[in-house]
Each structure stands twice: as C-alpha cells, then as structure tokens.
C-alpha cells in the first residue's frame, strides 16, 4: 500500500481556499486536513465552525480535524463534527481522554491522538486500545515553516513499534511537520502512512496542485519499489 498524501487547508491563502477544496474533491484525495487552534494550547488561532461547514458544503471527502485546543470535547460539539470525519486531539488537553475517544467512536468519527514532540508514548499506553491513528507532530505545533525536531525521524519508528506491539498494526501514523520530499521519503520508510502537506511542498497555487501532488507521491512511493 502506497503513502497517502493529504492537503492541509489551513495553509491555503483565503482567496484560494475554495479552489483547493474543489481540486481535492476532483482528485478524490483520502481526506482534507483541517487545523483548529485556540490561541491557548498553541500561540496561534486557525479555522472554526464556519470554515468546517463551508468545506462540508463543497465536498463529501472526509475532513481530518486536528484539535490544537484545550477542552477538545467542547470543540467536537461546537464544530458539530459529522460521522465519517476524523478527529485527533492532544491527550494532555482533556480531563478524560479515554472517554473522548469513546465518544468519537459512538458518533461514527475516526479517533486519533496527536503527539507533540515532547509527548512520550508511555503516556498514551492506557488509551491506545481506542486509537485508530496517531497524528505525530515532527515540529512544535502552531506555525508552518519550522525544521523537523532532532528526534523526529526516530520517533516515527518507535510509534510504529508501539502500535504494532499493542495490537494496532492497522492504525495509521499521520505526519504533520516539514514533509518536504527529502524528509517525506524517510518518514515513509520509518513507518508513516499519511503525510500532511502545505506551502513548503504542494501549495503553489490550485492550478498547479494536481501535477505537484502526482509527482510528489510518485517519488515517495518509489522508495519502497
């Protein structure tokens, strides 16, 4: 199975927002990545209920929501996340992360945990049985354009080993952070299944996206051929 490559819509310039959603829908990407930031858990703010609803009107692709917020339970309700979509939250932001994972499943939502560079795997051991995927931050969350943290590549390997050893061989590892082609190849080899891409890789204009996407994905897939 080849790598999945997805678009981070937060990174889109406002004037191109709709066009990027349309081209993602036309290409039938696996899903569209959607960042929510509250200015508290991370020092930035991004996207919200109106943008989520706008995307849902434009496409039937699943929306992959990354909640970089405190009290993520409130945002699941605030956004009114729909069945078939995906939600990852940071376990340290919830008083009851296990219950939230259960709640997501009960609503027909694919449930993930997002790990900061400093979040240890041991801290999620009691949650992993409810996890469908891990969203691994290879940069500190909040801003684009950062370099991958020094332990970033090695941690991907450890996440894959951790999931496999806990009976979660089918759980995806989604990577967010500096997925330029040189890094992306190694991320894939280390066990990543999904790469989230923004301005540093594929977002050079909606009219260029499809060609850039196909070339990027082909080059990464080739490393395992």
Residues labelled as active-site residues: 35, 176
Q: If you write DSSP's letter for every residue of the chain in order, what string do you get?
A: -PPEEEEEGGGS-GGGHHHHHHHHHHHT-S-EEEEEEESSSSS-EE--HHHHHHHHHH--S-EEEEEESSSHHHHHHHHTPPTT-EEEE-GGG-S-HHHHHHHHHHTT-EEEEEE-TT--GGGGTTTGGG-SEEEEESS-TT-SSPPPPTTHHHHHHHHHHHHHHTT-TT-EEEEES---HHHHHHHHHTT--EEEE-TTTT-S-HHHHHHHHHHHHHHHHGGG-
Distance from C-alpha of 113 to C-alpha of 130, rounded to nearest angstrom:
10
Distance from C-alpha of 182 to C-alpha of 161, rounded to nearest angstrom:
23
Distance from C-alpha of 223 to C-alpha of 71, rounded to nearest angstrom:
40
């Amino acid at each position: 199975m080849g790598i999945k490559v997805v678009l981070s819509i937060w990174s889109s310039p406002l004037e191109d927002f709709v066009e990027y959603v349309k081209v993602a829908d036309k290409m039938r990407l696996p899903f569209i990545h959607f960042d929510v930031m509250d200015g508290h858990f991370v020092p930035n703010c991004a996207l919200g209920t109106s943008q989520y609803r706008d995307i849902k009107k434009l496409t039937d692709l699943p929306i992959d929501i990354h909640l970089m917020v405190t009290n993520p339970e409130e945002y699941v309700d605030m956004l009114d996340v729909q069945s078939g979509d995906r939600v990852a939250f940071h376990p340290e932001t919830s008083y009851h992360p296990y219950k939230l994972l259960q709640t997501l499943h009960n609503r027909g939502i694919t449930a993930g945990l997002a790990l900061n560079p400093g979040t240890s795997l041991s801290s999620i051991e009691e949650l992993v049985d409810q996890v469908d995927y891990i969203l691994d931050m290879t940069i500190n969350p909040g801003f684009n354009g950062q370099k991958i943290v020094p332990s970033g590549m090695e941690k991907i390997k450890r996440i894959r080993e951790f999931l496999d050893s806990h009976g979660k061989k089918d759980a995806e590892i989604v990577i967010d952070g500096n997925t330029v082609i040189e890094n992306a190849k190694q991320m894939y080899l280390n066990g990543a299944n999904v790469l989230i891409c923004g301005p540093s890789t594929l977002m050079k204009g909606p009219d260029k996206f499809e060609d850039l996407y196909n070339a990027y994905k082909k080059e990464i897939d080739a490393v395992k051929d």
